[in-house]
Each structure stands twice: as structure tokens, then as C-alpha cells.
Chains A and B, each alone.
Chain A
Amino acid sequence: ELKVEQNPLFLSMQEGKNYTIYCNYSTTSDRLYWYRQDPGKSLESLFVLLSNGAVKQEGRLMASLDTKARLSTLHITAAVHDLSATYFCAVTPSGTYKYIFGTGTRLKVLA
């Protein structure tokens, strides 16, 4: 059974600081996705990583994928309050069309 685990589950950080969220998955996959969810809202697609070594950046967020380690990271640079949200990774196991989501990381950026 595929497991997609994120850590930390909760993260409280000061504005201006850097931090990394980790997404580990238990089966082979060469596609990984990151999403953002604001409280009480739907999910928004952030990044799609389609191969080993893929790196995508948008503003203060940068995502990377290491398929050999079955690990993706979401790095936050110089956090601002507007980045406060829950971040989810999702994986499509090789040979399937299922998108399986991780547990989510609730990020709170303190002024």
C-alpha cells in the first residue's frame, strides 16, 4: 500500500526565515505534485515535478524531486505571512492513474 508522508505536520515560523517541508513516498513514482490549501477553501496546484532532479520555483517557494530517494522537498525562502496555509504533496504511483495525497503540512508564518 502506498504511503505518502509529510513532515513536519505543523510548522510555525517567523517571517523572513527559511524552512523545508519534506514529502516521502513508499513506492516508485516519477510524478509528484504540490498543492496549497487555505483554511476553508479548496486546493490550488503549485508545482508539477515530472522527472528525477526536477526543480520548479515560484516566488518564495521551490520544489524538487529525487525519485531514487522517493523524496520531494518544498523549500520556503524568507517566509511571509501570506504563505500561511496547508501544503500537500501528491504522488502518482508508476503504472497507475491515481493521485495519492500526503498528510499535509500546516504552515503558520508569524509576523
Chain B
Amino acid sequence: DAGITQSPRHKVTETGTPVTLRCHQTENHRYMYWYRQDPGHGLRLIHYSYGVKDTDKGEVSDGYSVSRSKTEDFLLTLESATSSQTSVYFCAISLTRGQNTEAFFGQGTRLTVV
């Protein structure tokens, strides 16, 4: 357990509304990530952060923005939700222990856009 909490865990929203998902971590990890998981695609990287106010785009960033104003919080925003953004969203952190790298995930947020 790397102390990662996602909120909300489930959300249903209407097309065109803004949505913000929150990822909170308690262990001061530098690197944080947002992924989405869809059937037939595995997990795909949306955005990531390597520090406060330092973020970058991943493979599927269109329609998403992120912010990281504090080390412990990484927010994912859908400015105007579309049905194609119905998915399960995972937040993750990565850390290095000696020669090993480990990456841990939050519990996931199931988002349905109707």
C-alpha cells in the first residue's frame, strides 16, 4: 500500500459537464500518473507529473487537463465530458528502492458519461 486514495470511486455525469477526479498520496512521492483502462486496450497513460506544477502529456491526453499544486494531490479534469471518456481511471505513483522500481496504483474511479 503506497498510501494512494482516489476520489470519487464512482461517478455518473452528463455529456458536456466538467468533471474532476482527485488522487491523493500520503508518502511524498515525486512522480504521479493518470491512466485510463478500457476493454481491449489495457491501461493507457493520460498525463503524468514529476513534481509540483510540473506535468506532461501521455498517450491519450486529448480532452484532459491536470494540475498539481501540492505534492500530495494530482487532479485530472475533463473540461467537457464526452461518452468516449467513460472508463475506469487509475492514479499511480512510482518509486525507486535501490535497483528496483515499483509503481503502485490507487483503487480506480469508474466514470460513466451519459
The yes or no verdict on A and B being binding partners is no
